[in-house]
Amino acid sequence: MKICVLVKQVPDAAVEKRVDSGSGRLDRSGETNLNPFDTHAIEAAMQVKEGGKIDVDEIVAVTMGPDNAQRALHKAVSLGADRSIQLSDDALAGSDCCATGYALARVLEAESPDL
């Protein structure tokens, strides 16, 4: 069985958030962490793998984002993911949720996870 977990690097909850006045977007230049909910998802995948009732061959962490999104993937691997995939391209910068969902869906189609 292959488990894919979608993960996201998010601004640190302890750091004050700022909105860029020009673009109206969240300023993501500050400290970032793996989304805490994604940490729980990786841990749940590890529980399935280590539980022994289901034969899990591989846990794959997947994210879409700029180069610094690798930090989230490194954290996911340190929590137990066997490998990671980063989808990154200048054409994807600033993608809305529909474009992001479409791009990530293509990765999942290629990976063909069971969960």
Find the domain containing 28 and state its range.
2-111
Report the pLDDT value the prediction gives residue 27, as an integer from 0 to 100: 67
Alpha-carbon gap, residue 43 to 48, rounded angstroms: 9
pLDDT, mean over the chain: 90
The residue among 37, 34, 42, 41 whose CA lies nearest residue 11 is 34
Calculate mean pLDDT across residues 101-112: 96
Quote the number of domains for the chain.
Answer: 1
The residue among 67, 87, 89 whose CA lies nearest residue 6 is 87
Helix (H, G, I), strand (E, B) or coil at 70: helix
pTM value? 0.85
The CATH number linked to 75 is 3.40.50.620
pLDDT at 47 over 70: yes
Q: Which residue has the higher pLDDT, 3 or 28?
A: 3
Query: On the CB side of 55, how many CA atoms lie within 13 Å of its CA?
Result: 0
Q: Which residue has the higher pLDDT, 109 or 14?
A: 109
